[in-house]
Chain A
């Protein structure tokens, strides 16, 4: 996580004169408190997942996994449908991300590299779409899905996630594209490349990191989405995704909190990996309205 600090060199750092040690004590105590509050819930999830049932249902909770066990992970993984829901989530998420990446790349190229009538209007539309109040569209989307026989289908969910991530993907890719000098492409064209070939051989490799980080944001959004998955998948329980399954944990695990926390941990794992990959790009992406954690 060094990326968080390296950026400090960019701006003149705020340096305060060193105070007396006594003056720093409350500050460090506040820091420890902040750290504890932010980490404890996640820590508690992981600890509970590893504790044997007897330790979980004890009147005095133990704060360390003294007798770690993988039993709860076994319960979670072997609960009916776990593999299916995991596969559904992956299918929907990857499908939506790839689709929106391809469509956004085409649009970003048109917006960033070409001049045409209606370009401004198109960009305006993309910005407005980025602010779309999706929570207010649950009901019409349900009605439309029902009318078109798309209810209980993963393809419908994929399409919805594609559209929720598309505007952000276009805006971000346009930014990355603008950072690549158009002269590189022109030079390739002078050397005899066609325009598509110049883009594919010169710009595309340079764009790869941008494509990666943009798609990771889309991944988090789609992976975590609950409201539409809960509304559009109703009868066909086999088509549910992980968030919906996890939200109904009491039907699945009853009061087995160890298994619930194990399932939660497994669900969170990919997101955590993605966050570690993204590191310092997280803040700027979030600011652009990408994902709400």
Chain B
């Protein structure tokens, strides 16, 4: 595994040893066993994963509104739904917003996560333990609890953030309603996602940092490298796979973030926080255009596919022999 932290890392997963030779009859009966053992998994995946995916793709090529939902009998319309979606300027606004949302979150998470990790290795033992415990606490906070807490922190009348800002001299924040404005709602959502995601990045990177031999830094220092240079020439190259891994995971997580946005703003105010997953859900559930929602969902998956394939390749490499 990746971290130096797990006390007993599981050994590399290898092929099972060849079955010892057995009597002919037993082999024939026994040969069925593995298929029986994986059957529940295959059946479950077929009904609960493959079928919904197929259904989603089918719906995106059908006319499927409230009437079809209740009565059935959806008709095929070819690529009409995709044409409607792609011709809608709002779709492209949402795509741009989703990319901006993802880029901003991931950039902040990576920069802050790296800084916290670099700080952790330099701290004394007790302080490090304290900061790490704090990070784990943040990490353990359920998304729903976190959204509720942030709504309270930024509450207009008695929220502690407004109180602090007024105390600091920003008098315009007296009773300021953060969730009434698009920009400030967007900012709070970014703060929320970054706050929840930095611990994973920081702790994973810290785990990686502890595996870099101190001699490398020493020789870099002897060669006259400063702090920035030793990060650029030693730390970053050594941890490149880890950086790639965390970045790709964060891209996936931020891109498809649904719960935080839906609970806090449902994509509002005025669509200022509508990202692709929210957009698809709104079209389907609020407007009952299940066909268009399915098309947007399919397009979302296609855009995500780049990050997903990258991550899949990494998982294969990590798991070694299949």
Contacts and interface: CB of A to CB of B under 8 A. Distances in A.
Interaction A to B: yes
Interface of A: 1-8, 10-16, 27-28, 30-31, 34-35, 37-39, 41-42, 44-45, 48, 56-61, 103-104, 106-107, 109-116, 118-120, 122-133, 135-144, 146-147, 159-160, 162-163, 166, 170-171, 174-176, 178-179, 182, 186, 223-224, 226-227, 230-231, 242-243, 246-247, 249, 257, 260-261, 264-265, 267-268, 271-272, 275, 280-284, 286-289, 292-293
Chain B interface mostly: helix
Contacts of B52: 137, 140-141, 144
B94 interface: no
A132 B69 CA distance: 25
B21 to A, nearest CB: 13
Contact of B4 (A11, A35, A44, A163): A11
B131 A103 contact: no
A284 B5 contact: yes
B143 interface: yes
A107 B137 contact: no
A261 B151 CA distance: 11
Given A14-B214, A135-B258, A280-B7, A247 B134 contact: no
A133 B142 contact: no
Contact of A260 (B152, B290, B316): B152
A115 B297 contact: no
Given A14-B212, A116-B35, A268-B145, A133 B256 contact: yes
Contacts of A230: 262
30 contacts: A1-B129, A10-B5, A14-B214, A16-B122, A27-B122, A34-B134, A34-B135, A45-B145, A45-B148, A56-B158, A57-B158, A61-B160, A116-B35, A120-B322, A132-B49, A133-B304, A136-B56, A136-B256, A139-B281, A139-B284, A139-B294, A139-B297, A142-B284, A163-B45, A260-B148, A267-B144, A271-B140, A283-B200, A287-B3, A287-B204
A268 B48 contact: no
B55 interface: yes
Contacts of A271: 140-142
A233 B12 CA distance: 42
Interface string B65-83: 0000100100000000000
Contact of B316 (A1, A107, A127, A227): A127
B277 A226 contact: no
Contacts of A223: 142
Nearest to B9: A284
Nearest to A183: B17
Contact of A41 (B19, B33, B129, B150): B150
A142 B131 CA distance: 42
A143 B55 contact: yes
B29 interface: no
A257 B56 contact: no
B44 A166 contact: yes
Interface in B1-19: 1-19
A250 B130 CA distance: 35
A155 to B, nearest CB: 12
B203 to A, nearest CB: 5
B128 A5 contact: yes
A14 B134 contact: no
A293 B149 contact: no
A216 B288 CA distance: 37
A178 B13 contact: yes
B109 interface: no
Contacts of A111: 38
Contact of B132 (A1, A61, A272): A1
Given A110-B37, A163-B48, A264-B145, 17 more contacts: A2-B129, A5-B129, A10-B4, A15-B214, A44-B149, A57-B157, A106-B38, A107-B38, A111-B38, A113-B16, A114-B33, A133-B308, A140-B294, A144-B55, A226-B144, A247-B148, A284-B9
Given A5-B128, A114-B16, A139-B293, A178 B147 contact: no
Which of A57, A110, A265, A267 has most B Cβ within 10 Å? A110
B86 interface: no
B23 interface: no
Contacts of B158: 56-58, 61, 257
B37 A109 contact: yes
Contact of B16 (A107, A115, A246): A115
A173 B40 CA distance: 16
A29 B261 CA distance: 33
A247 B41 contact: no
B4 A7 contact: yes
B142 A135 contact: no
Contacts of B155: 257
A103 B44 contact: yes
B215 to A, nearest CB: 8
Contact of A45 (B8, B149, B245): B149
A77 to B, nearest CB: 17
Contacts of B146: 41
A72 B293 CA distance: 41
A246 B141 CA distance: 14
A175 B153 CA distance: 42
Contacts of B34: 110, 114, 116, 119
B3 A7 contact: yes
Contact of A135 (B45, B135, B214, B277): B277
Nearest to B158: A57
